[in-house]
Amino acid sequence: MSVPKITRFADVEELLAAVNAPCALADSFRSSITQGRGFTGTDSLAEAVALARKGWQGGTAEIERLRIEIDRSLSGLIPMLEPFYDVTGDMIDVGRFVTGEPEDFLTLVDNGLRHESPSPRIVHIVCNIAVSGSISQDVIMRRGAAMVVLIDTLERHGIRCRVDLVDVTADKRQGGDQFEVYMTVKHDGESVSIDKLAYFLAHASAMRRLLFAVYEHFPDPIRRQFGIGRDMQGAYGFPGIASEQGTIYIDRIISAVDWSEQFTLAWLKAQLRKQGIAIEEETK
């Protein structure tokens, strides 16, 4: 039986329908059910499902703490938005309208945005949430916080973001077969939901409960090939590299040093610069 190379879920509910579908594999063999809080950040699969639907409000506070640390390192480096008035724009200025000003529409613009840069007004961000089993929740959180800050900053500077998560599972460390599961977390016309992004990009259970649960429904030959399920004595495969990488691609985590504090801040600054946000180097 061939491996489904790419599976796509249009939204959260479509993913959760696959998670909650009847499963032939006994619960005692399902890591999505038997693993504990230390590995998944939740006490049960049901808790992970609830977080997926409602968003991770508890994680918002932790992400905000990390965001403040990141923002502090960027303090004074990201230009503030300034009002620009014209005959068209994002919103009407009632005061100007009442007084008869012809340029009565307001748009908040970033005067530091290099409009001559090749950056598109819509960017497609692909976040590969595949991580090795040894990766701690703190590392997953740090990377997720950086992604949330990146998305929020781009949106605040007029660059719309479509955000897809993907989990890529390979049957070997290098080469071999792999399958990819994609889900759109945010459409480019959708407003930023910090709680939703916090869960899917920064919570360990998004992969270690929800997506594991999807894989546990696969036929036995595929589960055997990729080591899915405790009856196969497997580790649910190896993190792979996504074939679709969009405008900005955030790769799998193989080692905790991949997302150290120093790397995370440097990565965030570099991504903002690439998208045309003029961040100057700090002067001593």
In a domain, 93, yes or no: no
Mean pLDDT, to the nearest integer, of 234-249?
93
Structure-model confidence comparison of residues 126 and 265, the more confident one: 126
Distances (CA, A) of 92 to 73, 99, 249: 35, 13, 36
Structure-model confidence comparison of residues 172 and 185, the more confident one: 185
User: What pLDDT is attached to residue 18?
Assistant: 97
Is the pLDDT reported for residue 81 higher than 70? no
Secondary-structure breakdown of the chain: helix, strand, coil percentages, each rounded to the nearest 5? 40, 20, 40
In a domain, 70, yes or no: yes
Query: Could you give the number of structural domains in the chain?
Result: 1
**Amino acid making up residue 220:** D
Q: What is the pTM of this model?
A: 0.81
In a domain, 10, yes or no: yes
Taking the mean position of all CA atoms in its chain, how far away is CA 25? 29
pLDDT tens per residue, range 6-23: 999 999 999 999 999 999
In a domain, 108, yes or no: no
In a domain, 282, yes or no: no
Domain that holds residue 123: 6-80+115-274
Mean pLDDT, to the nearest integer, of 268-274?
88
In a domain, 95, yes or no: no
Structure-model confidence comparison of residues 52 and 284, the more confident one: 52
Q: Which residues contact 52 (CB under 8 A, 6 or more apart)?
A: 12, 15, 16, 199, 200, 206, 210
In a domain, 99, yes or no: no
Lowest mean pLDDT among 90-99, 100-109, 112-121, 167-176: 112-121
